[in-house]
Amino acid sequence: MIDASSLDRRAEALRRDINFHNYCYYVLDTPAITDAEYDRLFRELQQLEEAHPELICVDSPTQRVGAAPLGTFSAVKHRVPMLSLNNGFSEEDIEGFDRRVREVLDLNEVEYFCELKLDGLAVNLTYENGLLVKGATRGDGSEGEDVTANVRTIKSIPRVLVGPPPPALLEVRGEVIMFKSEFQALNQRQRDAREKEFINPRNAAAGALRQLDPRITAKRPLRFFAYGIGAINGPALGESHAEIITRLRTFTMPVNDSKYSVRRGLAGLLRYYHEIAELRSKLPFEIDGVVYKVNRLEHQNRLGFVSRAPRFAIAHKFPAEEALTEVLDIDVQVGRTGALTPVARLKPVFVGGVTVTNATLHNEDEVRRKDIRIGDIVTVRRAGDVIPEVVNVLSERRPTDAREFVMPSRCPVCGSHVSRAEGEAASRCSGGLFCSAQRKQAILHFASRRALDIEGLGDKLVDQLVEGNHVRSPADLYVLSVNPLEGLERMGEKSAANLMAGIERSKQTTLARFIYGLGIRNVGEATARDLAYHFGGLQALLDADLQALQSVPDVGPIVAQSILEFFHEPHNVEVIEALRHHGVVWSESAPGFNTAPTLPLAGKTFVLTGTLPNLARDDAKMQIEARGGKVIGGVSKKTDYVVVGEEAGSKLTKAQELGIALLDETALLALLDTNRKGNLLGTDS
Ligand code: IVH
């Protein structure tokens, strides 16, 4: 049984914590915990006080909003208090809100105005006779800070209200925010200047607005969106919140009304919530929920306020996208190109609507830059379906025994040598075909259409073959028997026989296809073809040193190094020998070619844009390349042709500006047809 004194102590501890975090958040702009953690503390205290009203005291944070203003700005007393909103987290919370509203108003169904809950900071703008005379932060709700000089630097805030004559006094309330893209650009500038980065757009906006030097504020990309009014002296702006918003817009006030909506009843609210949740990641700014406000002002007045918040409005919060947790360890994951990605193993934490246990740390430099250590408390972010990532470390909470991450020198999966090329962010396992983490992908690549072209070998099947240990390298494909195949999921007698036939057919190949199929880093189809032409046979390629490799046209030091490293791994050579042993053959020619024979489209560059009516992009690319042409991503003066499909974008405009030849699908096919590929060591049979 919990006794009264322990409840008292808990309430006291919560008050102390919340006040401390208010100070960190509102005054120092340096939150020590996430919003979700703060909300949890606040709700616990609220619930405790609801159940035991005798615990409520005047200085409880539930009885006021925010913290006292920083002494350095002069204080502004709000004519009308700037209140906060109650939060709802579940559909039941919103159902309860709607029920209470209906009970007070004695209505079956209520009309609501639905808005976005912008994640920035609230300001109050005072207009006297249409002139902006003051800008103030919310502060503790009754007294804020005078940030007039800073607010005047925000371009979207009108200095003068235009349009119809405004009331003699009008206070406009809204949120100062920073757009996500502008936040990223700002952080890039901070990085370039070797200055501290901001944690999130809200923090960056708060920091900028609360600069003592308005010249700094002016350089920060701040925005403002109005969501309501404070004091007003003059004729009312309307009878509903919707009318107020519309009037504000006629004064050229920025309002986010393209996403605002009037809805009826609980079902209408919940539909709005889901619509916005879908849109959330696509919005240019961050929101942490939606806000429902009873639309009719007369209804709002009847509902009134309860302590710190109106009873006529509620914020329906989205699952927090950020949470704090502990880094239990840092592992290394081997990706399909052999890149070693450090991954933080986290103490499970509920964030972005799911329980997260891992977060990518991208690469070694990123771990250093953010200074993430094993044992650290970190902010984890999971926005939309994006892979969770570590945003920052709470360095003040670092334990003394926190350990630094060291990139292993051997692949944790296969033990092969790990290297990191100069100027590259990724460290890579050199194990290639031998490394089991790379094996599945390597097998798929080997079997792909432009390599050995094994029909019927898709990714699901490769998964099963590798997991069941039936296939460890591409060479094992050639010793597969029907027996284990038939035991696999969705694999009948017929498809097993088809696959066997496909594998058998693939044995007859070309040297260029074979080299490409090995999946050597930096060796694409065109380079594989060049190598095949140049060396004529595989042994000559295996024997080539750095210099010999670099004498192949278009093979520079990076490509040459990749090739050498690949053939240096004994496992790769073993797989090649096994493939030949199992009957993979191609015709070889004498070595000594110095240049690749000219294919009809050699030296021509193509850019593809838009969707072609019949030809898949990959097919178009393959056919151009088979004739020696190069397909590149961006249009420049050097581009020879731009192939234009439906919904072509900026590449078309650029091509037109530069006067580059445009081809539609028919013209492309005609060009390909008159330039059938030469038949030397072509990659296609
Ligand atoms: S209305 C009396 N509408 O959320 C109600 N607030 O927790 C006053 N906010 O201080 C607020 N978007 O900083 C309102 N569409 C919106 C909002 C919004 C963001 C912020 C605002 C306020 C806090 C309330």
* Distance in angstroms (rounded) separating the CA atoms of residues 671 and 664: 11
Mean pLDDT across the chain: 87
Query: Which 3 state secondary structure label does DSSP give 658?
Result: helix
Strands (E), 119-260: 121-128, 131-137, 143-145, 169-178, 222-233
Please name the amino acid found at residue 176. V
User: Separation of 177 CA from ligand 1 center, angstroms?
Assistant: 12
Q: For 70-101, what is each residue's pLDDT tens digit?
A: 457 889 999 999 999 999 999 999 999 999 99
Q: For 241-277, what is each residue's pLDDT tens digit?
A: 999 999 998 888 889 877 899 999 999 999 999 999 9
Please name the amino acid found at residue 162. V
* Residue scoring higher pLDDT (31 or 417): 417
* Residue scoring higher pLDDT (665 or 311): 311
Name the residue at shortest CA distance from atom 6 of ligand 1.
117
* Distance in angstroms (rounded) separating the CA atoms of residues 452 and 442: 12
* 469 φψ region: left (φ > 0), alpha (ψ -120 to 50), beta (else): left
DSSP secondary structure string for all residues of 84-142: ---EE-SHHHHHHHHHHHHHHHT-SS-EEEEEEEESSEEEEEEEETTEEEEEEE-TTSS
Contact between 357 and 348 under an 8 Å Cβ cutoff? The reply is: yes
State what percent of residues in the chain have pLDDT above 90.
50
Residue 574 banded pLDDT, cuts 50, 70, 90: very high
Name the residue at shortest CA distance from atom 17 of ligand 1.
117
Please name the amino acid found at residue 104. V
Contact between 467 and 489 under an 8 Å Cβ cutoff? The reply is: no
- Nearest in space to 485 (alpha carbons), one of 467, 455, 465, 507: 465
Res. 346: pLDDT tops 70? yes
Which of the following is catalytic: 77, 117, 370, 440? 117
Threshold 0.75, pTM exceeds: no
User: Which residues have any ligand 1 atom within 6 Å of their CB?
Assistant: 83-85, 115, 117-118, 122, 138, 175, 227-228, 291, 310, 313, 315
Q: Which atom of ligand 1 is nearest to the CA of 310?
A: 2
Res. 592: pLDDT tops 60? no
Question: How far from 268 is each of 46, 114, 176, 319, CA to CA, in Å?
Answer: 28, 10, 28, 20
- Pocket test of ligand 1: the residue of 26, 176, 291 to mutate, having most ligand atoms within 8 Å of its CB, is 291
Q: For 628-681, what is each residue's pLDDT tens digit?
A: 788 888 888 888 999 988 877 788 888 888 888 888 888 888 888 777 643 333
Our answer to whether residue 654 is catalytic in this structure is no
User: Separation of 122 CA from ligand 1 center, angstroms?
Assistant: 7
